[in-house]
Structure 1
Amino acid sequence: MLVADIMHTPVITASRTATIREALELLHRHRIRHLPIVDGEGRLFGIVTDRDLREAVPSRLAVDEALLARLAEPVETIVRREVITTHPGEFVEEAAQLMRQHKIGCLPVIADDAIVGIVTHSDLLSALITLLGVDAPSTRLEVEVPDRVGMIADLTAIFKQQGINIVSLFVYQSPEPGRRRAAIRARTMDPRRLIAAIRAAGFVVRWPKLPDDRPEGGKGPA
């Protein structure tokens, strides 16, 4: 999945000459938390967040001249100039890594020097739900396999034999050395027959735990 698949477009932006009041109004009107600021050529100049604006304009019980003057100042006076960006062809997991690394809440998407989209934490969570198949009727299984070539192919062959489609499949490192775990969503609401077949092939099913399960000490196929 690419950034282009999940980004918001068109992007709500403000000119660097817009006032702080206008920037606040844009955030409230569109219910957004990040506002890219563009220059006269439409290129990304910087970004402001709802937090930046709250700090720039502290809440007051009464409107006074100082507050009105502050609201009339150009938004470029509070803009963050150093902006971490991505591009439409980036993989979503790389965009997520960028956001975590820099501790930021959004990534403007740039193509040919123009801002063509924006990706937020919410977009990445939605992408994760889609990639994991959580939004489709299915059952989640976790199966431990030896970290050897061909083990995942052997495991997925069991699904084919049982006539059960795989909605999603992720593999991650097991706490046990030399092992990996496959997190699989299968298009079935009754996985008992499938689980029995997986166990019969020598794999360890870590989840789900069936009512008659006993602790499993197996290590999977030798």
Structure 2
Amino acid sequence: MVPTEGGKPMTGAKDWRELLTWSAELLARSTGADLGEWNRRVRDTGITDEPALRRWLAAQGVTGYAQMLLVMERFGYPDFMLASADELIDAQYADRPALRPVLDRVLAVVATLGEVTVQARKTYVSLVGPRRTFAVVKASTRRRVDLGLRLADEPGGRLEAARSIGSDAAAVRIGLHSADEVDDEVVEYLRRAYDENLPPAKP
């Protein structure tokens, strides 16, 4: 069973704020200057458009997530990055509440697999093991939740080719229309995806 609070599922999911904190720490480690100092430097440039700011930051050796953070600090954060994990997930299922039990059942299953981090994004939920993302859950239509799996399996049977499930992690997917369809076969696929994406065993 998924824990609830006031009748609502508690996902325990992490949101974008953890990534933003990590990005700020990365910026400080890689450049020796913290976020406040970099914001001052950006203001002092007088740059007023995003492409020019990205070029300037790249010239300073600031790329990737650190650059993304500074661009958003200057030009504003998307609303979904300021939302909590539960708010993001609630929005994903707001117009398809009958599908929410599918996600809740999947989360209940992965909680038994081992070390799993649930990461809420704008349109999907990532399931991350100790090494990397091993599954993705997305309410793709009003009647179907797609469970994307990082497996070496070729499409066949219940496994279909995965396309546009929110990240490149999923190679195959299983379409789920109700919580009852998260059966023993799906549980086994989830377990295999988790195991296949664990860190390599040390010699």
Say whether the fold is shared (TM-score over 0.5). no
Larger radius of gyration: 1
Point out the structure with the larger strand share.
Answer: 1
